[in-house]
Structure 1
Amino acid sequence: MAKNKELNVKAKNRHKVIRTILEVIAIIAAGFFVIKSVFFLYHYEEPKAAANDAKGFVAISYFGVDRSGSTKHIGREQLNKQLNILKEQGFTTISQQQIIDFYNKGTPLPEKALFLSFEDGRTDSSIFSQATLEELNFKATMFTYADNMQSKDNKFLTTKDIQAMVDSGYWEHGTNGNHLSYINAYAPNGNYLGEIAEKNVTDKTKIEYYNHFLMDYLRDEYMIPKETNEEMDMRLTNEYTKMKKLYTQDGGALPKAYAIMHSNAMYNMMDDSVEKVNERNIQHLFSLHFNTNYQSYNDAEQNIYNLNRLQIAPFWSTNHMLLKMKDESDLDIKMVTGNKKLANDWIVEQGYGEFTKQQIILTSEASKEVSATLTKKWPAQSIVEADFNGAIMGTQSMTLSDGVVKAKISLQKNKLLIATENGYKKTSFKKSTYQKLIGKMKITPLVKQPIIRILKRSKVLVSIPRRIQII
C-alpha cells in the first residue's frame, strides 16, 4: 500500500510539474500577445522612396476587418492579399500631414501615393490588420466615433488603445464624428419613426428611409421641417462641440482628419443651409475632410475639404478594386491573373479573370459584360458552380452556353430568374422561398440541357456538356 501511495504521489507531482510548465507557457504566450498588441514590438519606418511631382494620390478605406470576413467586414487574409498587391505595384502609404502639405504648400508626394484608412474604430480592425501593416511597413488612419471611444464596449477602441497605436507609427487617428444617429426615419409601411439612435437599430430592413443626424433638418411625418434654421444650426454646432470636448478631455487631441457620416451628401444632395453649417464647423475644427466613398483618386485641384476615398466592399474582387483605381487615374496599375497556366486555357473579353484551381473570378470593364471562353474540350458532363454574393439591390447574372443551348441565371432585386435563349417564360423565386427548400428544388427548363439546381442561399450549380462560355 505504501508503495502505491508513493507512486501516486510521484505521479501527482509529475502532473503538477507538467501542468505548471503548460500554464507558464500559456502565460508567456498571452503576455507576448498583450505586449505586442499594447506596446507594439515593431515600429514604423519612414519609407525612403523619393517624392516627385505626382499629380495626386489614391485613398482607400475599409469599414472593418475580422478573422474570416463577413457581409460587412473584409477577412484578414483578403486584406493582406489586396495590400500586398498594392505594395508589389509600387504604392507607398502617406500620412495626413503629407496630404495637408501637398494641398497647402505644394509639397511633392510619392509617385504612387496611397492614403489607407479603416472606419468605425473597431478593435478587431486594429488586431487583424496590424500584422499586415508591419509586414508591408504601411501607415493607416483609424477613424473613430468620439462617444464609442468613451463607452465600455470592448468592440470599440479606447483613447489608450488609439494612443498606443499612434505611438507605434503605423497608425494615425481620424474621426467619423461624435456619434451615429438616424433622423426622419420611416418604416416600410410608411409609418413615421422620427429620430433613432443607431445602436437601437437591430434590423435595418425595418427602416425604409432615413437620414443621418448631420445631414438635414429634423422633419415631421409630412417631411416639413420641425425646427427653425437657428435651431438646426445650434443642434449641428453642439454636436461638433461635443465631439471636440470628448476627444480633448484628459489631455487628448482632436484628430486632424474627418470623414463625415454619411458620405456623399455634402456638395451633392444636402440642403444649402445645412451644408453651410457643416462646412463652417468642419473647416474650423479639421485640416482635411473625406466626403465621398465611391471614388479613390484625388488630384491637385481637389478641395482638401471634399476629398475622395474608395470604401472597399468585402465581396469585391481584387481586380474590381484595381480597375476602379486605374480608371480614375493615369497610374500604371496591372490586373492580377492568378494561376497563369490556367489563365492560358481561357479567352477573357471585356474584362479580367483571376484564376485559381478552384475558381475563376471575372471582373467586367465599366458598363460591359465580361466573358470567359474555354479554349479546350471539357469532359462530357461538367459542373459550373457560381455564388451570387454581392449587394441585394441591382442585378447579378451569369450566362452559360455550349454553342447550342444558352441559359441565363440572374439575381435581380433579391429574386432568382432563370431563362433560356429559346424564349420560354422566366422562372422566378423569391429568395426567402428557395432558402427554405435547400436540396429539394430542381429546375429543368423546357430543353434537355442545362440542368439547374438550387443548392443553397444564392448558390447555383449548372450542369452543361462540352465547351462552355461564361458571360
Structure 2
Amino acid sequence: MKGRKFSPQKKDRRKAIRSIVEGIVLLTILIVIIRALLPSRGYFPVSEDRNLQTEQGFIAVSYFGVDRTGNKTLISTKRLEEHLKALTASGYVTISQQDIINYYTAGRPLPKKALFLIFEDGRRDTGIFAQKIMEKYNMKATILTYAQNLTLEDSKFLKAKDLKELEKSTFWEFGTNGYRLSYINVFDRHDNFLNQLNTYKFQLVSGYLDRNYNHYLMDYIRDASGIPMETYSQMQERIGWDYNSIEDIYKRELGKVPDMYILMHSNTGQFGSNDKVSAENFKWMQKLFQMNFNREGDSLNTSQASIYDLTRMQPQSYWYTNHLLMRIQDDTGEEVAFVTGDEDRNNSWDTLKGQPEFIKDTIALTSLPGESGLIKLKKNITDSNIEVSVELDGNKAGIQTIYVRADDELEEYLALSIENNVLYVYEKHKGGEKKTIFSLNLELHDGIKPQSLEENKLEAEIKELETELKYVSDVELTKRLNEQLKEKKARRAASVIEGAKEYIPEIGISEAGKRFLKVMLENDEISVIIDNKAVTERLKVSVTEGKGVYLEAAPSKEGYSQRNLTDDVYDGVFKSLVISRYSTEKKDDILYDNRLAGFEKVADTIQKGWDSLINWFIKYL
C-alpha cells in the first residue's frame, strides 16, 4: 500500500486553518471576558409612585464577596445571578442608603418590596464580577471596605480609585466595616489564652478555635482570668483611635466618610459585650455615620427599628436559591416566587413540604424553617426488590433521607439517612415507632483515625507557636518561642488506643458533604454501599412491601459555626438518582432515572469545558 505523498502546501493549509480556529476561540473568549467585566449602562432608580409603604420596611441581604467559580466563603457568579433573578421575580427592588436615611429620619415611604443589597469585605473580585449581574436586574448595592485595607499593599482589596470608579458607574455606593478586622480575648478550644489576634493570625489558628473570642471593638481587652487589662480611659483611647483612623483615612482617600457602617460583630442587644464599651461605640457611630447594621441573621427592618440597630441576612455561598427565598419568606411573612427549575423533572414528584428545585441531574430540596422538606415520587414502585443509587451533596450538618417501600401515609417504610455524617438505616411499621437497625459513623468508614483530646491540644499549641513566630520581631522572644516549639514537637500525647479521651470535632454548618450511596433491596434483606465500599450486606429487614419513594431534607440542631450563624433551613441535594429492579442474579429495568443522557449530557459536558476555559483565562490573563 502506497503512502501518501508529503505536500508542504497541504501542511501549510492545515497550520493556517488551525491558527484561524485558535484565533476565533481566543477572540470569542476575549469578547465574553470583556462583556463580563465592562458596564453597559447606568442604574435606573425605581419610579417614586411604585406601591409606596411605610410600615413594611425593607430587607437587607449581605454577601461576603463574589468569585466567578465560588468557594467556601465567596458566592459564584452563577449562584449570585440565580439569587438576584429570583429576588427580582419576587418583586424586590433595590433602595439606596439615602432612601433608608429618609425613611427613618423623615418618614419618607419605600417601595413595597424594598431590598438593600450589601457586599462586605471590599474585595476587588466582588466589584468585577457582581456589577454585570446587577446591571442585568437593575440593582444598586453598597460595597464595604475596611479603612486599613485602603492603605495596604494587598491586591485582593479595593483601593480608593477603584471605589471612585464603582461609584461613578451609579450601581454602587460605599460603606465601611470599620478600621480593621481584629480579635481580642481569644481562647482556643482547650482554654489556652491567645490574647489578641489580627486577621492573618486568626485565619491560621481558626481550626483550633470554638466560640470563645471577641472582636476588637466589642469589649475591654482582658487577661486570661477575664480581668480588664486596661482602664476605662485606656479603653476609650483605644476605641477612639480606630474611629479617628476611619475618619482620617476615608477623608484623605475618598474625600468623605461613608454614611453606612457595620459594627463587627455585635448581635448583643447593644453596641458591644460591655455596657461602657457599647456606649463608646454608640458615641462614635452618631458622630461619624448616618446608619449602622448592628445585627446579622434576620433580613427584615421595620419602621420600629433604630437606624443604628439595623439587621442583615448573610446568604452563604452554598445556599440554593430557594434557601434564600425560604429565609426571606420566614422573616417577612410575604410570599416569594420559589423556583422549580426543570418542569418536566418536577412533574415526576409531588411536593409535600418545603420546595424542590430541579437543576439538570440534581434535586435540591429546601426544607421549611426548622422543619423538613419532603417530596414523593408520583410513580409507584411496585417491585419490592430494587436498587437505588444517588449522590448526596448536601452539607454534613443536616439530614438527607431516602424512604423506600413506603406506604401512602409514610407510616410504614424503610429509610436510609445520612445525619451529621452518620449513616442510619431505619424501619417503621404502621402504628409503631421508628427503629434504628443499623448505624455507622462515616468518619470511621473513611478510615479517619480518631484523635484524642490530648493530641488535638498538642497540635493546637504547636500551630499557635508557629503562628506567633511568623509575626514576632523581638530576638529574645523569638528564641524563647523556638525553644517552646522544639519542646512541644518532641512531646508525645496519649492516643485513643491508649485510653485517652477522644476528641470529637463539631461539624460546621458550612462543611461540605459528598457521598455516593447505593442500596440493594431483595426480599427481607438490605445491602448498602457508601462511596463504592460496602457498609452492610444482607441485613435482615421486616418491612417487605410498599410502593412509595420519598426524599426528605431537614436542618440539624447540632450545626456549628465559629461566627455563631444561625440557620434553620437546609438544602438536601440528591444528584443522579436512579431506581431500578434488582436481584442478585439479574439486574435490569430502570424504573426512575434523573441522570443526564443524550444531547443534554453532551451539552452539559461542552458547557463545563467552556466555563473551565473562560475561568482559566480570567485567572491567568
Contact 1:258 1:288 in 2 (8 A): yes
Q: Deviations over 1:282-316 (max 9, x none)?
A: 11110011111201111111110011111011122
RMSD: 3.4
Corresponding residue number in structure 2 for 1:42: 41
1:424 and 2:424 correspond? no
Moved more, 233-242 or 43-52: 43-52
Q: Distance in 2 between matches of 1:111 and 1:349?
A: 30
Does the alignment pair 1:389 with 2:395? yes
Distance apart, 1:98 and its partner CA: 0.4
Distance 1:410 1:317 in 2: 20
The residue identity in structure 2 corresponding to 1:469 is Y
Residue 382 of structure 1 aligns with an amino acid whose one-letter code is V
Task: Determine what percentage of the aligned residue pairs are the same residue.
Answer: 33
Matched, 1:449 2:529: no
- Equivalent positions of 1:206-245 (< 5 A) are 206-208=208-210, 209-245=212-248
Out of 225-234 and 42-51, give the one that drifted further: 42-51
Find the counterpart in structure 2 of residue 184 from structure 1: 185
| Equivalent residue number for residue 407 of structure 1 | 415
Match of 1:102 in 2: 103
Q: Per-residue deviation at 1:110?
A: 1.0
Residue pair 1:266, 1:275 contacting (<8 A) in 2 also: no
Q: In the TM superposition, what whole-angstrom CA distance separates every residue of 1:174-226 from its partner, at most 9, and x where no partner exists? A: 10110011111112332111001012232411223321101111111112211
Inter-partner Cα distance in structure 1 for 2:285 and 2:417: 47
Instruction: Tell me, yes or no, if structure 1 residue 274 matches structure 2 residue 277.
Output: yes
1:41 Cα deviation from its structure 2 partner: 4.7
SS at match of 2:213: strand
Alignment deviations for residues 116-172 of structure 1 (CA, whole Å, 9 cap, x no partner): 010000111111111101111110000111111211111111110000000110000
- Normalised by the size of structure 1, how large is the TM-score? 0.84
Distance 1:230 1:269, change over 3 A: closer
2:203 pairs with 1:126: no
User: Match for residue 342 of structure 1?
Assistant: 345
Name which structure has the greater RCO, CA cutoff 8 Å, separation 6+.
2
Q: Distance in 1 between matches of 2:271 and 2:400?
A: 31
The answer on whether the counterparts of 1:419 and 1:427 sit within 8 Å (CA) in structure 2 is: no
Relative to structure 1, the CA distance from residue 434 to residue 160 in structure 2 (aligned partners, 3 Å threshold; closer, same or farther) is: farther
After TM superposition, the structure 1 = structure 2 runs for residues 49-448 of structure 1, keeping only pairs within 5 Å, are 50-51=49-50, 52-55=52-55, 56-200=57-201, 201-208=203-210, 209-250=212-253, 252-267=255-270, 270-377=273-380, 380-389=386-395, 395-403=398-406, 405-412=413-420, 415-421=421-427, 422-424=435-437, 426-430=439-443, 433-434=446-447, 448=525
CA distance 1:41–1:425, change in 2 (3 Å): closer
Residue aligned with 1:126, SS? helix
1:260–1:290 Cα contact (<8 Å) kept: yes
Q: CA deviation at 1:348?
A: 1.9
The DSSP-based 3-state class of the residue aligned with 1:423 is strand
2:436 maps to amino acid: G
What amino acid is the match of 1:407? Answer: A
Moved over 3 A (4+): 32-37, 377-380, 431-436, 438-447, 464-467
CA distance in 2, matches of 1:397, 1:366: 15
Question: Which shows bigger deviation, 315-324 or 293-302?
Answer: 315-324
Number of residue-to-residue matches in the alignment: 441
For residue 449 of structure 1, give the secondary structure of its aligned residue in structure 2.
Answer: strand
Structure 1 unaligned spans of 5+:
1-6, 457-463
Q: Structure 1 residues 194, 362: closer, same or farther in 2, change over 3 A?
A: same
* Distance in 2 between residues matched to 1:329 and 1:245, nearest whole Å: 39
Q: Distance in 1 between matches of 2:297 and 2:521?
A: 39
Deviates more, 1:42-51 or 1:123-132: 42-51
Please tell me whether the aligned partners of residues 399 and 409 of structure 1 are also in contact (alpha carbons under 8 angstroms). yes
* CA distances 1:15-66 after superposition (whole Å, capped 9, x unpaired): 9xx99x979x97x959x949965xx453222233624124211110111111
- How far does the alpha carbon of each residue in 1:374-414 deviate from its partner, in whole angstroms, 9 at most, with x for none? 11035843323211326x5xx434243322652342343xx
CA–CA distance in structure 2, aligned partners of residues 338 and 283 of structure 1: 46
> Aligned equivalents of 1:419 and 1:372: distance in 2?
19
Measure, in 2, the Cα distance between the counterparts of 1:327 and 1:388. Answer: 21
Note the alpha carbon deviations across 1:75-95, whole angstroms, 9 max, x for none: 100101110111122211100
Tell me which residue corresponds to 1:461.
Answer: none
